[in-house]
Amino acid sequence: MLITQTPSNGLIFFSILYREDLFEENFFKKKLAALYGDMIVFKPQNNPLVEYYTKEMGAGLTRVFFVSSETYPREYLLSTKLKALEWENELAQDSKRMANIDTGLISPENFILATTKNYSHRVYLGQNIFADLTYQCVNGSFESLPWTYPDYVDLEKLEFLNWCRNYLLMQGRVKTL
């Protein structure tokens, strides 16, 4: 008899790039907390794609990461991306996004982002959403991959994601590799 193994839960991740003149960090924190409970907040200093997004969203952009303090089944990756797309559309002005909301899942093995864009290394989740393996765990630490988005490839973000992985492991509900 074949016995399948249920994967451990992970931490839900949100990266929100938004216009500071339109929204406050607390606005997003409250929206997320209503669905996912208390959130860990991190404001990265290095945001290399701000200029790229300024073309669509306008000037005065800031980025903040929110990570759930509780764990969730990995299946939540799809529903969190769908919710993020819904929020992006609700907050849009003149058919332009005023907030860019990335979602992901942090597990002991990897960090996966959800995306609407297909590519050779991405796995289809359903409802036009793909999973993008952004970091993999090697020798107890996350490592980027050749296709990792430039916004996520720097020491500051790597250290934060590793901190989140360690936080997840310390909760005692998941096993190390």
Q: What is the value of pTM for the model shown?
A: 0.94
Question: pLDDT tens digits for 119-143?
Answer: 999 999 999 999 999 999 999 999 9
> Average pLDDT, stretch 75-98?
97
Question: Residues 6 or more apart from 111 whose CB is under 8 A from it?
Answer: 13, 104, 105, 134, 135, 142, 161, 165
Contact criterion met (CB below 8 Å) for 10 and 71: yes
pLDDT score of 106 more than 80: yes
Burial class of residue 57 in the structure, from the number of CB atoms within 10 Å of its CB (0-12 exposed, 13-18 middle, 19+ buried): buried
pLDDT score of 86 more than 60: yes
* In the block, residue with structure tokens 């790039």: 17
Provide the percentage of residues in the chain whose pLDDT is more than 90: 92
CA-angle at 6, arms to 2 and 137, nearest 5° = 115
Position 33, amino acid = A
What confidence score (pLDDT) does residue 105 get? 98
Round to whole Å and give the CA distance between 66 and 28: 9
Contact criterion met (CB below 8 Å) for 78 and 127: yes
> Average pLDDT, stretch 103-112?
98
> Average pLDDT, stretch 147-171?
95
Domain edges within the chain: 10-170
Q: How many CB atoms lie within 10 A of CB 62?
A: 15
